[in-house]
Copies of this chain bind each other. A is one copy, B any other.
Amino acid sequence: MEQKIKNIGVLTSGGDAPGMNAGIRAVVRACAYHKIKCTGVFRGYQGLIDNDFEELNARSVRNIINRGGTFLKSARSRMFMTEKGRAKAYENLLSQEIDALVVIGGDGTFTGATIFNKEHNFPIIGIPGTIDNDIRGTDYTIGYDTALNTVVEAIDKIRDTANSHNRLFLVEVMGRDAGDIALNAGIGAGAEEILIPEENLGTDRLLESLKRSRKSGKTSSIIVVAEGDQIGKNIFELAEFIETNLEDYEVRVTVLGHIQRGGSPSCYDRVLASRLGIGAVDALIDGKKDIMVGIKDKKITFVPFDLAISGENEIDIDLRRVADITSI
């Protein structure tokens, strides 16, 4: 590459995820290592428009690897969805003499990056940071592993009380379009049933399964439900449906909500974020652009943005079978 990168901007965008701070830290320190200036951009793409910049050095990011959230803050920017907003952002990048961007976020973030690059031919590398694990081209996204542990720990607590009372619990977890959290955390938490958006097993199977559970001697049950409609019902309607159709079932609903986005990141998420942050800076130095850096088979990989955000989530048939067998 002829033109040397001298100043890399870094931002987090979209929903926050545990490990984003570790990712920012890695970008900042990789810049320090390569003697490249690093500029933090606050509140995602909106910060580009609002000129919300701050130079970051190796010491700026100390003691953040263990913290949830993102110290650069995140936001969804409506202005960045307009051509005018993006033009303003480009202008600000130029006047700050920022040569390239690393953006940490999910599909919305990458979509924005692709459009911005098309319009302004500006080098951007994406890092997948979202608890939903719904990005193609990477085995894992930053924050997903932590969210799984958070969900499993929460359900372990619910199980204490479920066991004590012979109750049925419906637990709603995040994942509007992707059932990864529900399926993995459901297996990990020993759930009796797992309802995910990628498949509709129908109400009959659910009732049959609950009847079978009780018959087999189970005295309490936990059903993990990915958020959004399930079997055409929300989780409270589902609870009512079960109470109506099965005798002697006391059903309780828990919506885990935003605790799933927070918490100190797991070791895996910290290491992943560190690797991807360094990989992103390496990629910019190598002249790459318009791609996401991901992890595949324990190795750093690069995927074009359009591929990363394409396609629908597919269930892992193998895992579905694991869920069915272990909940016998």
Alpha-carbon separation in the docked complex, A151 to B259 (Å): 11
Q: Tell me the residues in window 129-172 of chain A with beta carbons closer than 8 Å to chain B beta carbons.
A: 139, 145, 148-154, 156-161, 163-166, 169
Q: Is B271 a contact partner of A65 (Cβ separation < 8 A)?
A: no
- A190 to chain B: closest residue by CB: B65
- Given A165-B74, A270-B188, CB of A59 within 8 Å of CB of B216: yes
Q: Is B300 a contact partner of A318 (Cβ separation < 8 A)?
A: yes
Q: Is B166 a contact partner of A75 (Cβ separation < 8 A)?
A: yes
Q: Is B157 a contact partner of A267 (Cβ separation < 8 A)?
A: no
Q: What 1/0 flags go to A254-271 for Cβ under 8 Å of B? A: 110111011110111011
A320 CB → nearest B CB, Å = 12
Q: Is B328 a contact partner of A32 (Cβ separation < 8 A)?
A: yes
Chain B residues, Cβ within 8 Å of A165: 16, 73-75
Q: Does A217 make an interface contact (CB < 8 A)?
A: yes
Q: Does A63 make an interface contact (CB < 8 A)?
A: yes
A20 CB → nearest B CB, Å = 8
Q: Is A160 a contact partner of B32 (Cβ separation < 8 A)?
A: no
Question: Among the listed B18, B188, B217, which residue makes an inter-chain contact with A160, where contact means beta carbons less than 8 Å apart?
Answer: B18
Chain B residues, Cβ within 8 Å of A258: 157-158, 161, 169, 252, 254
Alpha-carbon separation in the docked complex, A79 to B280 (Å): 49
Q: Tell me the residues in window 167-184 of chain A with beta carbons closer than 8 Å to chain B beta carbons.
A: 169, 184
Q: Does A30 make an interface contact (CB < 8 A)?
A: yes
A33 CB → nearest B CB, Å = 5
Q: Is A267 a contact partner of B298 (Cβ separation < 8 A)?
A: no
- Which 10 pairs show the lowest CB-CB distances between chains A and B? A157-B262, A68-B160, A160-B262, A69-B160, A188-B267, A148-B267, A16-B164, A69-B164, A188-B270, A161-B261
Additional A-B contact list (12), CB under 8 Å, known A69-B161, A158-B259: A12-B164, A20-B164, A26-B326, A63-B163, A63-B190, A66-B189, A148-B266, A149-B266, A156-B264, A160-B262, A187-B274, A254-B257
Please list 28 pairs of residues, one from A and one from B, whose beta carbons are closer than 8 Å in the complex, sorted by A's number.
Answer: A16-B160, A26-B326, A29-B327, A29-B328, A30-B325, A59-B217, A62-B218, A65-B190, A66-B152, A66-B156, A145-B266, A149-B149, A152-B266, A156-B262, A156-B263, A185-B267, A188-B268, A189-B267, A252-B258, A253-B257, A254-B255, A254-B257, A266-B266, A268-B268, A271-B319, A271-B322, A275-B322, A278-B326
